[in-house]
A and B are shown apart, each in its own frame.
Chain A
Amino acid sequence: MPTIRRTKVEFEGRIEEREVIVEEEHVVPWERGHQMRLVGKPVPRVDGVARVTGRATYTHDVQLPGMLVGRFLRSPHAHARVTAIDDGEARALPGVFGIWHRFSPPEVGGLDGRELFPEELFYEGAEVAFVVARDRRTLGDALAAMDVGYEVLPAVQDFESATAEGAPEAAMGASNWITPDGSIYERGSVAAGLAAAAAVVELDFTTQVAAHCCMETHGSAARWEGDLLTLWHSTQSVFGTRSSIAGALDIPMDKVRVISDYIGGGFGSKWGAEPFTLMAALAARATGRPVWAMLSREEEQLVAGYRPGSRQRVRLGAMADGTLTLIEQEARVTTGAHGGGGHVIGGPAKDLYACDNVRTAVWAARTNVDSARAFRAPGYVEGTFALESAIDALAGELGLDPLDLRFRNYTETSPSRGQAYSDKRLREAYELGAERIGWRDRHEKVRQEGPWRRGWGMASQIWGGGGGPPANAIVKLLPDGTAEVMVGVQDIGTGTRTVLSQVAAEELGLPMESVRCVLGDTLPTPFGPGSGGSVTLASASPAVRSACREAQRQLVALAAVMMELEDVPVDRFDVVEDEIVYADDPAKRLPLREATAKMGNYMIVAKGARGPNPDDRAVNTFGAHFAQVMVNTETGELKVERIVAAHDIGRVVNPMTATSQVYGGVIFGLGFATTEQRVIDPGTGLQLTANLEDYKVPLGIDVPKIDVLFVDEADVSANSVGSKGLGEPPIIPTAAAIANAVCDAVGVRVTDLPITPDRLLPLLQQEVMP
């Protein structure tokens, strides 16, 4: 029975007390070393054929009879007022089915409290009008034929001008300050930390704006059948999308179905309903035809979010033996017109090390650009770069090995929560990584090749990813001995469909091919969380186990009758391989398939829920990256030769898909460290990099050798599967590890990202020619 419980909920570094409805799982955790057929095995993806044949249907691929295409006309200015719109020429084009804007408004005027077509436009790309036409050519012609009058207004692009007295507004009716109080966290005192310190380092850092660059742009397709709305939406949260669109349209939730079967990349930016979702639904209702509205690449780069840039100052104090006495980290971020993202830069400073005196502050302000969004470990990526670079500098100052300094300040309890960890194996991750890269004898290796200098660096990482309730699963056990598992989560490319199938097949005693996992659709599935904060597996897999356990109990109860053992309690039977066995007389056994076959048309339907998290434990994930780099002292060129990534995420359900996720995280981290940066022209406030050529994401030829290592010990007190999240951890420490390796190679500490030759070369010249 469900009950309401007050419990701590962690999401992307924020912990809050919330009342949540929880059910007990009634499932005994899989212990460490538990022998399993499928869990822990490198099972190829269950949807692999669909992905390699082009038959997987992404929102981008939805085609429906009579479907129209829709797109916004967007503001070409960083800040402007719409004075007039002449749509006469566009409306007259054959094949244009509808145009909406502030002088010809749609029947619903806003989404999530924001006006769809406001008079004042606060960023380049802000929505001005929405046009639907029978095909893309006609749509393009119509958008080009729109005549809009703008009064251009002054804009702000940086923290200082945004927060200056009398600065232009960056959002309607809101102060440019988002966190004027600095969201300060403090334990102990800075003065005490300084007083106890034998060495102090203080460094300034900047991190750039980084763009998600999902390969499938954001978008939706909408179809009405009577009062029933079906939305295809490239989203990390089908249920979140359903509630926001039902709210915006003021229609009941049961009239909305949201489908996201395949998603072409989701790195934090694809969440609920967006303006194009709402306009697709409204235009489809108005025209009586399905409407498809996917962003173009330019729109994707302009209005689909980014990781905000930051300016940070880190001050560390330590005793001569390396014991930390002070961690202080301050950050300034600009998060665009409507804020969001980047507010937990101080998360790692609070929890990565044992330290009595810690102070973090984050000041955030609005500017005239589109809003920042969550981006793979928001805040932690930026914060860890600065913190772990400063730790490296402190090790240098103290004459200690950077790894030894980290061991010196290792903590077995969560410093900010004052609780023991459910399990923490960062120590093992350090050791695995150090051994693989040869950390201890790195000084004996070849460090010079012509103008190239080689160096090694490392950095560590903490993240949440414990997941939690609510998450449910429904299992149908079919007469032929196959099963359908329905879970309301999404597979954003991480392999969720595969790993949940592994867990279900393991629990049900079925082969992989006898389990089908249905997700990414609000109609058949019970609630599952959005795929963010690395929670999907840790939230959903225990619910799947629980539902499968219940289905099996029901089958065993039926089998007992079939075996004429109806008076024997269910727990006196075991499922061994694919047979139901009476424990007291193992000769009495019934193959699973025979039992299900005897059900006729009856089908077992069972449900399961994610149980609560332990309230007296902190559930976290940990990892360490080790980098080997070469720097060309003549050109400033940086070549990352090798990254060793060692992670503690509890039990690894599928080492193949898990390794892929680590590759992905490291490669994102590599791009962040070396090439990626969004550039905005300070004069006009317009973006200069809104494409995939000027914004440089890594290609295969840019990628170094990457070694992926897992501690792989089940966290049995975290949940019944013993697994924690992995989506975000592997992007977190990469940039710091690379920057620390650069410092080891050439003796200069790069504190500004990305580490490009134009940045590195002047630093090298200063070092060589003081």
Chain B
Amino acid sequence: MAVEFRGPGRVPVSLNVNGVPSQVFVDPRRTLLSVLREELGYMGAKRGCGHGQCGACTVILDGHTVYGCLTLAIDCEGREVRTIEGISNGQDLHPVQEAFIEHDGYQCGFCTPGQVMSAVALLEENPHPSEQEVLHAMAGNICRCGAYPNIVDSVLAAAAVLDIPQGGGEA
């Protein structure tokens, strides 16, 4: 019997992840999540279900949250992908990350990277969300441990911090 690979052959895909351009050669059926984790070493996004039902793989694509497990890598050609690894600046955490620590916005932490990414995207789009807006924006992220009350507190606290004008006054 002849040795055969299944599926179409690998294709080149150019990705821009956290501002770093890279090219991968992948099977067209590979998801963004799989390429991030298995080809590029971004392990922050998790595979909680693989069906777009839990939100643990949430990343930001061109400014909007997507489920990494439902997004094909080839569809991300030339687009901007941001992951949990890209929102902090070296040792400096993003205000949303700081707030999650300060308000205990997690328990086991497995869903946390997805929760943080949903919160970051929300605050970039709507810097002054109400509690209800936070709940709706984050309704795609399951936290089985039930950290929700503290997650909401974290996001609202981060919004308040981000709202403070930088550099000591209004421009």
- A605 in contact (CB, < 8 A): no
Chain A residues with CB under 8 Å of B101's CB are 44-45, 48-49, 52
Q: Are B1 and A92 in contact (CB under 8 A)?
A: yes
Chain A window 642-669, contacts with chain B (Cβ cutoff 8 Å), 1 for yes, 0 for no: 0000000000000011011101111110
Q: Provide the bound-state CA to CA distance between A594 and B17, in Å.
A: 48
Q: Are A693 and B145 in contact (CB under 8 A)?
A: no
Chain A window 676-700, contacts with chain B (Cβ cutoff 8 Å), 1 for yes, 0 for no: 0000000000000001110001111
Shortest Cβ distance from A494 into B: residue: B107
Chain A residues with CB under 8 Å of B47's CB are 60
Q: Are B146 and A216 in contact (CB under 8 A)?
A: no
Q: Provide the bound-state CA to CA distance between A668 and B45, in Å.
A: 24
Chain A residues with CB under 8 Å of B149's CB are 663, 703, 706
Q: Are B29 and A137 in contact (CB under 8 A)?
A: yes
Binding site for A on B (CB under 8 A): 1, 3-7, 27, 29-30, 34, 38, 41-51, 53-54, 56, 83-85, 88, 93, 97, 100-102, 104, 106-113, 116, 134-136, 138-139, 141-152
Given contacts A262-B108, A297-B51, A703-B149, 6 further A-B contacts (CB under 8 A): A44-B101, A50-B109, A54-B112, A58-B110, A137-B30, A266-B108
Q: Are A216 and B93 in contact (CB under 8 A)?
A: no
Q: Provide the bound-state CA to CA distance between A661 and B54, in Å.
A: 21
Q: Provide the bound-state CA to CA distance between A267 and B108, in Å.
A: 11
Shortest Cβ distance from B27 into A: residue: A137
Q: Are A53 and B97 in contact (CB under 8 A)?
A: yes
Q: Are B3 and A92 in contact (CB under 8 A)?
A: yes
18 residue pairs from A and B, CB less than 8 Å apart: A51-B112, A52-B84, A52-B97, A54-B113, A57-B43, A215-B54, A265-B108, A297-B48, A297-B51, A297-B53, A492-B108, A659-B104, A663-B146, A665-B146, A691-B53, A699-B139, A701-B136, A703-B148
Binding site for B on A (CB under 8 A): 44-45, 47-58, 60-61, 63, 88-89, 92-94, 135-137, 141, 213-217, 262-267, 296-297, 492-495, 656-657, 659-661, 663-668, 691-693, 697-701, 703, 706
Q: Provide the bound-state CA to CA distance between A363 and B43, in Å.
A: 46
Chain B residues with CB under 8 Å of A706's CB are 149
Q: Are A52 and B93 in contact (CB under 8 A)?
A: yes
Q: Provide the bound-state CA to CA distance between A58 and B1, in Å.
A: 40
Q: Provide the bound-state CA to CA distance between A691 and B134, in Å.
A: 25
Q: Provide the bound-state CA to CA distance between A63 and B42, in Å.
A: 11
Q: Are B144 and A214 in contact (CB under 8 A)?
A: yes
Residue from A44, A51, A136, A659 within 8 A of B102 (CB atoms): A44
Q: Provide the bound-state CA to CA distance between A572 and B100, in Å.
A: 45
Q: Are A52 and B100 in contact (CB under 8 A)?
A: yes
Shortest Cβ distance from B44 into A: residue: A54
Chain A residues with CB under 8 Å of B85's CB are 53-54
- Known interface pairs A52-B93, A94-B3, A701-B136. Does A216 touch B106 (Cβ–Cβ under 8 Å)? no
Q: Provide the bound-state CA to CA distance between A51 and B151, in Å.
A: 13
Shortest Cβ distance from B56 into A: residue: A215
Q: Provide the bound-state CA to CA distance between A60 and B48, in Å.
A: 10
Chain A residues with CB under 8 Å of B135's CB are 700-701
Chain B residues with CB under 8 Å of A51's CB are 100, 106, 109, 112
Instruction: Give min CB distance, A348 to chain B, whole Å.
Output: 22
Instruction: Give min CB distance, B13 to chain A, whole Å.
Output: 15
Shortest Cβ distance from A47 into B: residue: B109
Q: Are B43 and A263 in contact (CB under 8 A)?
A: no
Chain B residues with CB under 8 Å of A136's CB are 34, 38
Q: Are A216 and B97 in contact (CB under 8 A)?
A: no
Q: Are A296 and B50 in contact (CB under 8 A)?
A: yes
Residue from B46, B145, B152 within 8 A of A700 (CB atoms): B152
Q: Provide the bound-state CA to CA distance between A47 and B100, in Å.
A: 12
Q: Are A141 and B6 in contact (CB under 8 A)?
A: yes
Q: Are A701 and B5 in contact (CB under 8 A)?
A: no
Q: Provide the bound-state CA to CA distance between A700 and B144, in Å.
A: 10
Q: Provide the bound-state CA to CA distance between A297 and B46, in Å.
A: 12
Q: Are A215 and B104 in contact (CB under 8 A)?
A: no
Chain B residues with CB under 8 Å of A697's CB are 142, 144
Chain B residues with CB under 8 Å of A703's CB are 146, 148-149
Q: Are B148 and A216 in contact (CB under 8 A)?
A: no
- Known interface pairs A52-B100, A52-B112, A137-B7. Does A216 touch B43 (Cβ–Cβ under 8 Å)? no
Q: Are B150 and A663 in contact (CB under 8 A)?
A: yes
Q: Are B45 and A54 in contact (CB under 8 A)?
A: yes
In the complex, the number of residue pairs spanning A and B with C-beta atoms less than 8 Å apart equals: 180
Q: Are A94 and B112 in contact (CB under 8 A)?
A: no
Q: Are A264 and B151 in contact (CB under 8 A)?
A: no
- Known interface pairs A52-B116, A54-B83. Does A265 touch B110 (Cβ–Cβ under 8 Å)? yes
Q: Are A60 and B46 in contact (CB under 8 A)?
A: yes
Chain B residues with CB under 8 Å of A44's CB are 101-102, 104
Residue from B44, B54, B150 within 8 A of A660 (CB atoms): B150
Chain A residues with CB under 8 Å of B88's CB are 53
Chain A residues with CB under 8 Å of B44's CB are 53-55
Q: Provide the bound-state CA to CA distance between A128 and B85, in Å.
A: 39
Q: Provide the bound-state CA to CA distance between A667 and B148, in Å.
A: 9
Chain A residues with CB under 8 Å of B139's CB are 699-701
Q: Provide the bound-state CA to CA distance between A495 and B101, in Å.
A: 12
Residue from B1, B3, B43, B104 within 8 A of A61 (CB atoms): B43
Instruction: Give min CB distance, A352 to chain B, whole Å.
Output: 25
Chain B residues with CB under 8 Å of A701's CB are 135-136, 139
Chain B residues with CB under 8 Å of A267's CB are 144
Q: Are A52 and B7 in contact (CB under 8 A)?
A: no
Q: Are A667 and B107 in contact (CB under 8 A)?
A: no
Instruction: Give min CB distance, B9 to chain A, whole Å.
Output: 12
Chain B residues with CB under 8 Å of A48's CB are 100-101
Chain B residues with CB under 8 Å of A663's CB are 146-150
Q: Provide the bound-state CA to CA distance between A49 and B116, in Å.
A: 12
Q: Provide the bound-state CA to CA distance between A94 and B7, in Å.
A: 12
Shortest Cβ distance from B111 into A: residue: A215
**Central interface residue in B106, B108, B112, by most chain A CB within 10 Å:** B108
Q: Provide the bound-state CA to CA distance between A56 and B116, in Å.
A: 14
Shortest Cβ distance from A660 into B: residue: B104
Q: Are B51 and A93 in contact (CB under 8 A)?
A: no
Q: Are A493 and B109 in contact (CB under 8 A)?
A: yes
Chain A residues with CB under 8 Å of B100's CB are 48, 51-52
Instruction: Give min CB distance, A58 to chain B, whole Å.
Output: 6
Q: Provide the bound-state CA to CA distance between A692 and B69, in Å.
A: 14
Q: Provide the bound-state CA to CA distance between A48 and B88, in Å.
A: 14
Residue from B1, B46, B107 within 8 A of A664 (CB atoms): B107
Shortest Cβ distance from B85 into A: residue: A54
- Known interface pairs A51-B106, A53-B44, A58-B110. Does A94 touch B144 (Cβ–Cβ under 8 Å)? no
Q: Are A699 and B113 in contact (CB under 8 A)?
A: no
Q: Are A692 and B54 in contact (CB under 8 A)?
A: yes
Instruction: Give min CB distance, A658 to chain B, whole Å.
Output: 10
Q: Are A263 and B142 in contact (CB under 8 A)?
A: no
Shortest Cβ distance from A91 into B: residue: B1
Q: Provide the bound-state CA to CA distance between A706 and B56, in Å.
A: 25
Q: Are B106 and A54 in contact (CB under 8 A)?
A: no
Q: Provide the bound-state CA to CA distance between A27 and B58, in Å.
A: 48
Chain A residues with CB under 8 Å of B111's CB are 215, 264
Q: Are A63 and B43 in contact (CB under 8 A)?
A: yes
Instruction: Give min CB distance, A642 to chain B, whole Å.
Output: 12
Q: Provide the bound-state CA to CA distance between A214 and B141, in Å.
A: 14
Chain B residues with CB under 8 Å of A265's CB are 108, 110, 144-145
- Known interface pairs A54-B85, A664-B146. Does A692 touch B49 (Cβ–Cβ under 8 Å)? yes
Chain A residues with CB under 8 Å of B6's CB are 93, 141
Chain A residues with CB under 8 Å of B51's CB are 297, 691-693
**Central interface residue in B34, B97, B104, B143, by most chain A CB within 10 Å:** B104
- Known interface pairs A136-B34, A216-B46, A703-B149. Does A54 touch B84 (Cβ–Cβ under 8 Å)? yes
Q: Provide the bound-state CA to CA distance between A692 and B52, in Å.
A: 9
Q: Provide the bound-state CA to CA distance between A135 and B141, in Å.
A: 27
Q: Provide the bound-state CA to CA distance between A94 and B144, in Å.
A: 38
Q: Provide the bound-state CA to CA distance between A508 and B146, in Å.
A: 34
Q: Are B146 and A698 in contact (CB under 8 A)?
A: yes
Chain A residues with CB under 8 Å of B34's CB are 136
Chain A residues with CB under 8 Å of B142's CB are 215, 692, 697, 699
Q: Provide the bound-state CA to CA distance between A663 and B149, in Å.
A: 8
